[in-house]
A and B are shown apart, each in its own frame.
Chain A
Amino acid sequence: MKKILVVDDEASLTRLVKANLERTGRFVVRTENQGARAIEAARQFQPDLIFLDVMMPDMGGDEIAEALREDPQLRNIPHVFLTAIVTRDETPPTGSQIGGHLFLAKPVKTEELIATIEKVLGA
């Protein structure tokens, strides 16, 4: 089972993402609603993939990604930005590369999340 960390300040969103992914029986999902605690959560959880919201009040997804890259234990964990800024058409269902990062546009469907995970993890 793949471990997925979902970081977003919207608790109801992270809760539903967790429910939808875990009910497939293929993923274990941990959620975090404070950006500043995302790194700590990653260290503890050691996820296979992290979904990062971009715009969060305390710490943005881009800052978290930067911190991940600087952490020797975490730098190899792939991350996908989940954002409300890019539009759906600019992000094919399997995520689009913008500046070397993968993006998914909100609102995203569960199947798109799964497809992206499969693509990134080769699962």
Chain B
Amino acid sequence: MELPLRSSLVGYQTNPSVNNMMFALRPAIVVLLVAILFCGTSHADESGFRTALNDEEKAWLVAHPVIRYAPYPNYAPIEFVDGQGGYAGMSADYLKLVAGRLGVQFTLVHVDNYGEALAKLRAHEADLLPAAVDTEQRRKYLLFATPHIFIPTVLITALHDLGEMPLEKMARSLKVALVRGNSWEERLSLKYPEAQLIEAPNDESALQMVSYGVADVMIGTLVTANYYINKNSITNLLMVRSIEPTTVWSMAVRNDWPMLRDLLNKALANLTEDEKRVIETSWMQLPLPAWWRNPTYRLAALGSLGTLLAIIFATLAWNRALAHRVRSRTLALEEAHLRLMQSAKLESVGQLAAGVAHEVKNPLAIIQMGVDYLAADIPKESDAGAVIADMEDAIQRADTVIKGLLDFSRERKLDMHPTDLNDVLRDSLKLVQHELIQHNINVEDCLAPTLPKINADPSKLEQVFINLFMNAIQAMGHDGKLTVTSEVGKLRQLSDLPSNGWAKFAASDSMIRLKVEDNGPGIDPPKVGKVFDPFFTTKPVGQGTGLGLSVSRTIVELHEGTISLRNRDGGGASVVLLFKTNQETKP
């Protein structure tokens, strides 16, 4: 019966160099293992074994102290002659154990091939074949001991369609490569005389014949075929299936020495299971590839690594997204909080302003009327006239504060229409022309050639710009330089953005940026963050209401814009206003 090979063996491929190395090391490993085993047990076993021999056997051994053996030199791992000319392989290990039991010395007779080994035995030029397959022909001149090595027989081919072709059909229709002297040569030629058998000097050559197409199929043993396929890195051969019978090896002796066969049988029977297992596992266990060369491991490792990386990246991305969300939510909350505070402040200021306006404006009106009354009789050039003038100024200042308060608190309704901010800036500059000339302020016009129109209330923005210009003029005093800039671009293209105030826009938003810069002393750094607070002023007492920038910010925010102030590196203050150009413009 022919059995399919176990897939794990068929599909298995090892790296030849690693495999070779493993084979090279094997004799040493086996010797070591056998030595370890023998240290504990062999001496007792051997001496016990020899004591149990009968006198005739003992006498035979004494008469034959040296026994010559002729192994097949190239049949790893069953048997082979290693690089140092020593005998190695499974059979060699068995022979060593047997030699120990019998207390005889085995001497190696070198032969080139199996045919020569058989010839040596037939001519009694050698006494023992350590591994021989029992055949009818060989029995004519050999005595076979009890089999001790069992290896599956396999069909090796490069043909993918060999499949389950019966051996008989295969023998008749295909060219079968066999090692000269192999037991299958005899078996096939007897059974199928028409079989096309191609002799090869050894298994390695036979495999190459199949690989190169000289032969169609080879019959060999599993471990030997595997060894040479890997050794020669043959990639086009398949071990398609095993065939019966399993290849069985025995020790064979020259046919005139039945005593030796009997002694070998006794010695082999005396071997322990442990001793046999050590030999088999050492030589027959297919060497495992290095774990890192195992494709399954690699695939699993790559898969695990990929999964791990994916998890790490996903975690990082998720973290980043979360951090972004937290940041934007925090910003939104802070903004909402600020707006709430601002709104509460506005509300209280508004209530206060309405009350103050009424309560203060009436007395102011009385004072104004009183001043007018007195002024009518007093020459302006007189001292009393100067007092009257000062009182007039005081009334104006008080009224300005009230006006600011009312502006700040009043319900704001904008008269929005498409507006060119450059026009508003130019108009505002005209309105402060007198102040600019008076303070000898040079105006640098850096306005963009054209700006897209945005929906705005020009009169309110004019109020903002005038406030900014007046602040700058008052900060610079005399001989300053006022730079007014306008530009348009995507938010992400605008360099030198203020540190805050732009987060509410998207990077892709098209923006108009206006800048009002002076070269005055700038704002005391700790106070920069407060300039937009109501009633905050850096101006001398009586010269500012502290409401100008608060009102300006409110107006800018009603235009969905932002306003921010910072000190310039070279001195002076810079106020930046940002407006979206893609707001919906109402007709």
Binding site for A on B (CB under 8 A): 354, 357-358, 360-362, 364-370, 372-373, 376, 395, 399, 402-403, 406-407
Q: In the assembled complex, how far is the CB of residue A48 from the closest CB belonging to chain B, in whole angstroms? A: 20
Contacts of B364 in A (CB 8 A): 106-107
Contacts of B406 in A (CB 8 A): 85, 87
A120 CA to B421 CA, complexed, in Å: 38
Contact of B365 among A10, A23, A87, A89 (CB under 8 A): A10
Q: In the assembled complex, how far is the CB of residue A56 from the closest CB belonging to chain B, in whole angstroms? A: 11
Contact of A20 among B354, B372, B395, B402 (CB under 8 A): B372
Q: Are B402 and A16 in contact (CB under 8 A)?
A: no
Q: In the assembled complex, how far is the CB of residue A79 from the closest CB belonging to chain B, in whole angstroms? A: 17
Q: Are A84 and B373 in contact (CB under 8 A)?
A: no
Q: Are A13 and B365 in contact (CB under 8 A)?
A: yes
Q: In the assembled complex, how far is the CB of residue A20 from the closest CB belonging to chain B, in whole angstroms? A: 5
Does any Cβ of B come within 8 Å of A36's Cβ? Answer: no
Q: Are A84 and B370 in contact (CB under 8 A)?
A: no
Q: Are A16 and B362 in contact (CB under 8 A)?
A: no
Does any Cβ of B come within 8 Å of A73's Cβ? Answer: no
Contact of A16 among B354, B360, B370, B399 (CB under 8 A): B370
* CB-CB nearest in chain A for B402: A87
* CB-CB nearest in chain B for A54: B358
Contacts of A13 in B (CB 8 A): 362, 365-366, 369
Known: A106-B361, A106-B362. A16 touches B369 (CB 8 A): yes
Q: Are A108 and B403 in contact (CB under 8 A)?
A: no
Does any Cβ of B come within 8 Å of A19's Cβ? Answer: yes
A108 CA to B399 CA, complexed, in Å: 10
12 residue pairs A–B, Cβ–Cβ below 8 Å: A10-B365, A13-B369, A16-B366, A16-B369, A16-B370, A19-B373, A23-B373, A23-B376, A106-B365, A107-B399, A108-B365, A108-B368
- Quick one: which of B361, B370, B376, B407 has the most chain A CB within 10 A? B361
Contact of A110 among B357, B360, B372 (CB under 8 A): B372
Residue count of chain A within 8 Å CB distance of chain B: 22
Q: Are A85 and B366 in contact (CB under 8 A)?
A: no
**A contact face: mostly helix, strand, loop, or mixed:** mixed
Known: A10-B366, A85-B357, A85-B358. A16 touches B403 (CB 8 A): no
Does any Cβ of B come within 8 Å of A44's Cβ? Answer: no
Q: Are B403 and A107 in contact (CB under 8 A)?
A: no
Known: A84-B362, A87-B402. A107 touches B376 (CB 8 A): no
Known: A13-B365, A13-B369, A16-B366. A107 touches B395 (CB 8 A): yes
Given contacts A13-B362, A16-B370, A87-B407, 19 further A-B contacts (CB under 8 A): A10-B362, A13-B366, A16-B366, A16-B372, A17-B369, A20-B372, A55-B358, A84-B361, A87-B402, A87-B406, A88-B399, A88-B403, A89-B403, A106-B362, A107-B365, A107-B367, A107-B369, A108-B368, A110-B372
Does any Cβ of B come within 8 Å of A101's Cβ? Answer: no
A82 CA to B365 CA, complexed, in Å: 10
A10 CA to B359 CA, complexed, in Å: 11
Q: For window 91-117 of chain A, which residues contact chain B by CB distance below 8 Å?
A: 105-111
What mask results when residues 24 to 65 of chain A are scored 1 for a CB within 8 Å of chain B, else 0?
000000000000000000000000000000010000000000
* CB-CB nearest in chain A for B403: A87
Contacts of B402 in A (CB 8 A): 87
Q: In the assembled complex, how far is the CB of residue B375 from the closest CB belonging to chain A, in whole angstroms? A: 9
A88 CA to B361 CA, complexed, in Å: 10
Contacts of B369 in A (CB 8 A): 13, 16-17, 20, 107, 110
Q: In the assembled complex, how far is the CB of residue A18 from the closest CB belonging to chain B, in whole angstroms? A: 10
Contacts of B372 in A (CB 8 A): 16, 20, 109-111
A10 CA to B354 CA, complexed, in Å: 18
- Quick one: which of A87, A88, A108, A109 has the most chain B CB within 10 A? A87
Q: In the assembled complex, how far is the CB of residue B500 from the closest CB belonging to chain A, in whole angstroms? A: 32
Contacts of A109 in B (CB 8 A): 368, 372
A89 CA to B369 CA, complexed, in Å: 19
* CB-CB nearest in chain A for B400: A88
A84 CA to B358 CA, complexed, in Å: 5
Contacts of B407 in A (CB 8 A): 87
Q: In the assembled complex, how far is the CB of residue A19 from the closest CB belonging to chain B, in whole angstroms? A: 6
Contacts of B403 in A (CB 8 A): 87-89
Contacts of A10 in B (CB 8 A): 362, 365-366
Q: In the assembled complex, how far is the CB of residue B274 from the closest CB belonging to chain A, in whole angstroms? A: 114
Contacts of B370 in A (CB 8 A): 16
Contacts of A89 in B (CB 8 A): 403
Q: In the assembled complex, how far is the CB of residue B411 from the closest CB belonging to chain A, in whole angstroms? A: 13
Contacts of B354 in A (CB 8 A): 85
* CB-CB nearest in chain B for A86: B406
Q: Are B366 and A12 in contact (CB under 8 A)?
A: yes
A82 CA to B407 CA, complexed, in Å: 19
A13 CA to B373 CA, complexed, in Å: 11
A12 CA to B364 CA, complexed, in Å: 12
Q: In the assembled complex, how far is the CB of residue B546 from the closest CB belonging to chain A, in whole angstroms? A: 17
A87 CA to B463 CA, complexed, in Å: 15
Q: In the assembled complex, how far is the CB of residue B407 from the closest CB belonging to chain A, in whole angstroms? A: 7
Contacts of B361 in A (CB 8 A): 84, 105-107
Contacts of A20 in B (CB 8 A): 369, 372-373, 376
* CB-CB nearest in chain A for B367: A107
For the complex of A and B, the 5 pairs showing the least CB-CB separation, nearest first, are A84-B361, A16-B369, A107-B368, A106-B365, A107-B364
Q: In the assembled complex, how far is the CB of residue B197 from the closest CB belonging to chain A, in whole angstroms? A: 122
- Quick one: which of A12, A85, A107 has the most chain B CB within 10 A? A107
Q: In the assembled complex, how far is the CB of residue A30 from the closest CB belonging to chain B, in whole angstroms? A: 16
Contacts of A88 in B (CB 8 A): 399, 403
* CB-CB nearest in chain A for B359: A84
* CB-CB nearest in chain A for B358: A84
A111 CA to B376 CA, complexed, in Å: 11
Q: In the assembled complex, how far is the CB of residue B110 from the closest CB belonging to chain A, in whole angstroms? A: 125
- Quick one: which of B364, B365, B366 has the most chain A CB within 10 A? B365
* CB-CB nearest in chain B for A111: B372
A23 CA to B362 CA, complexed, in Å: 22
A20 CA to B395 CA, complexed, in Å: 18
A19 CA to B364 CA, complexed, in Å: 17
Q: In the assembled complex, how far is the CB of residue B579 from the closest CB belonging to chain A, in whole angstroms? A: 25
Contacts of A106 in B (CB 8 A): 361-362, 364-365, 368
A89 CA to B407 CA, complexed, in Å: 10
A9 CA to B511 CA, complexed, in Å: 53
Q: In the assembled complex, how far is the CB of residue B337 from the closest CB belonging to chain A, in whole angstroms? A: 31
